[in-house]
Structure 1
């Protein structure tokens, strides 16, 4: 989860989202410590996984 005073998604496609962050941004995730975003721009890569039942590649949101 991204927490910042403000942000805007400036580009989005099927597997990435590019954000413009205003102010101090932090990433919170259950599998690691809090990370401080050290740039005004942040690219989020959405993990892709293959579903053998549907035989489709799908975005993984966990």
Structure 2
């Protein structure tokens, strides 16, 4: 009986940790996608600025 409770406890902890890791991976993918979009927009804006003639005084 004690061994069965121990196995159930270990499996429960493993499932909880697996769920946390999958949730963290999903959020990392979301944050990475947002960072990629921001990087792309900034590169596009800076590229457009560098092609314009600069008006220096």
TM-score category (smaller protein): under 0.3
TM-score normalised per structure 2: 0.15
Structure with the higher fraction of residues in helix conformation:
2
TM-score normalised per structure 1: 0.15
Larger radius of gyration: 2
Higher relative contact order (CA 8 A, sep 6+): 1
